[in-house]
């Protein structure tokens, strides 16, 4: 008897527990997955509700160092400076977040970024100076003369509004002026909620914009020994190492960030990507930058954390040879095009004649690629996507120029020798090239 009642009690108890578990499983998941106490403390009401509404956002935030260090949703989402306010579930949040929100806690990084070509020059490269205030133009011009105060890009105008908004500015908006008076976006490299240095150190993050025939940096990197080795070893690297403590043993192979920005082995972290550069490689005719000497020293100092001086010097000597030869080829090509313009065999309008596109492809694709390949270790880009494109297009360009001359049966050849062309025509062509 006693045994039976004990058995029944146990059976009933088990059944109740199972039933309770089953009922609990049927409840909506948000009632089960209540935010942890620490998360509620960190982010309060926002996270509690957004766990149901947009769980991915909260999850990404939880993965971030911000969550670990007690930064809350509202710390970022409240208005900064002159931002427009939005009433949201009993809170006041900013209608649009910009670099100004990050600047509140990271003024140092913001200031470095502001000095860089990722800020105003990037936007002005497409749109010219019109969207900036006089102070913003003046500020940027002291670091990059002529990079903001220049005409809007002629190729972009020729292509039209759709190309500008869905194409050019989708990359160049890293330096877009914001309504609140700040410039640019930090989340292009850090993302909005995970905001990690790990993400920023991955080559693919830079490769969102640094790709394709005119700036093939990601392709060059993947071809280089650095890229190959990084992909082989990334799993064993400590990509989350604190920037001020980053060692070569954390990342024995460099990514874009290591060479251009990181503070590896006690170097200074920089958000000014110009600091370690010596030449204007992207330019039609490459010259030393105003800060080129110190830029080259700074980059070589970075290489020297992993390499010996002879290796670095050899690398630079070879790259500079490529640079000089490319300059020579492009000079030859640009002289041919300039002469055609002087002789009025081309219209003054840019990008309305085939030879202008051919010349643009020659320097903007082939020329740049050879130089970028040489300085970042991509042999295929030096050769097949670089030199080969340059020399083969040069032959085509010469033929086209001859055809233009013979087709026009040049009345100007009869002109007296002192009938000089207008000088403006001589200096114009370069500003039409879209550089």
Is the Cβ of residue 94 or residue 340 nearer to ligand HEC in the bound state? 94
Could you tell me the end-to-end alpha-carbon distance of the chain, in angstroms, rounded to an integer?
Answer: 97
Nearest to 225 by CA among 315, 93, 317: 315
Is the Cβ of residue 299 or residue 340 nearer to ligand HEC in the bound state? 299
Is the Cβ of residue 229 or residue 349 nearer to ligand HEC in the bound state? 229
**Shortest Cβ distance from residue 317 to ligand HEC (Å)?**
11
Contact 119, 199 (CB under 8 A): no
Alpha helices in 208-362 (DSSP H): 217-223, 225-233, 256-260, 292-303, 309-342, 354-360
CA distance 144 to 280: 11
Contact 130, 107 (CB under 8 A): no
**Shortest Cβ distance from residue 247 to ligand HEC (Å)?**
9
**Shortest Cβ distance from residue 343 to ligand HEC (Å)?**
28
**Shortest Cβ distance from residue 1 to ligand HEC (Å)?**
57
φ, ψ for residue 86, nearest 5 deg? -130, 130
- Please state whether 136 falls in left (phi above 0), alpha (psi between -120 and 50) or beta: alpha
Nearest to 50 by CA among 27, 33, 63: 33
**Shortest Cβ distance from residue 352 to ligand HEC (Å)?**
16
Is the Cβ of residue 43 or residue 329 nearer to ligand HEC in the bound state? 43
Contact 46, 25 (CB under 8 A): no
Is the Cβ of residue 202 or residue 426 nearer to ligand HEC in the bound state? 202
Is the Cβ of residue 201 or residue 393 nearer to ligand HEC in the bound state? 201
CA distance 251 to 239: 7
Structure tokens given for 47: 């996270």
**Shortest Cβ distance from residue 399 to ligand HEC (Å)?**
28
CA distance 364 to 356: 12
**Shortest Cβ distance from residue 234 to ligand HEC (Å)?**
13
């Amino acid at each position: 008897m006693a045994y039976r009642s004990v058995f029944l009690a146990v059976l009933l108890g088990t059944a109740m527990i199972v039933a309770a578990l089953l009922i609990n499983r049927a409840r909506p998941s948000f009632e089960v997955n209540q935010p942890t106490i620490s998360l509620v403390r960190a982010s309060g009401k926002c996270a509690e509700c957004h766990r149901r509404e947009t769980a991915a956002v909260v999850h990404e935030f939880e993965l971030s160092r911000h969550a670990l260090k007690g930064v809350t949703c509202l710390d970022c989402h409240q208005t900064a400076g002159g931002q427009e306010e939005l009433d949201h579930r009993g809170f006041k949040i900013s209608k649009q977040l910009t670099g100004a929100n990050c600047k509140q806690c990271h003024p140092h990084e913001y200031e470095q970024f502001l000095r860089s070509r990722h800020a105003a020059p990037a936007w002005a490269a497409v749109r010219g100076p019109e969207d900036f205030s006089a102070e913003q133009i003046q500020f940027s011009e002291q670091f990059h003369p002529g990079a903001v105060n220049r005409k809007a890009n002629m190729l972009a105008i020729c292509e039209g509004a759709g190309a500008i908004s869905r194409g050019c500015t989708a990359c160049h908006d890293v330096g877009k002026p914001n309504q609140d008076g700040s410039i640019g976006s930090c989340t292009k490299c850090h993302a909005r909620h995970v905001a990690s240095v790990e993400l920023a150190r991955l080559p693919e993050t830079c490769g969102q914009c640094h790709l394709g025939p005119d700036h093939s940096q990601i392709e060059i990197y993947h071809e280089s020994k650095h890229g190959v080795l990084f992909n082989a070893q990334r799993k064993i690297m400590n990509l989350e190492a604190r920037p001020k403590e980053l060692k070569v043993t954390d990342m024995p192979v460099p990514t874009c960030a290591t060479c251009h920005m990181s503070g590896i082995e006690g170097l200074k972290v920089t958000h000014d990507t110009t600091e370690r550069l010596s030449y204007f490689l992207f330019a039609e005719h490459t010259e030393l930058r105003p800060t080129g000497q110190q830029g080259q020293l700074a980059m070589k100092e970075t290489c020297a954390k992993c390499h010996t001086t002879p290796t670095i010097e050899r690398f630079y000597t070879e790259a500079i040879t490529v640079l000089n030869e490319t300059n020579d080829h492009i000079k030859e090509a640009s002289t041919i095009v300039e002469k055609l313009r002087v002789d009025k065999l081309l219209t003054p309008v840019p990008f309305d004649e085939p030879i202008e596109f051919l010349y643009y492809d020659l320097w903007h694709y082939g020329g740049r690629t050879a130089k970028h390949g040489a300085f970042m270790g991509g042999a295929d880009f030096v050769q097949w996507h670089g030199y080969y494109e340059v020399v083969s297009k040069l032959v085509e360009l010469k033929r086209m120029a001859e055809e233009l001359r013979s087709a026009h049966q040049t009345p100007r050849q009869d002109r007296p020798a002192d009938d000089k062309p207008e000088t403006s025509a001589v200096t114009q062509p370069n500003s039409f090239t879209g550089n």
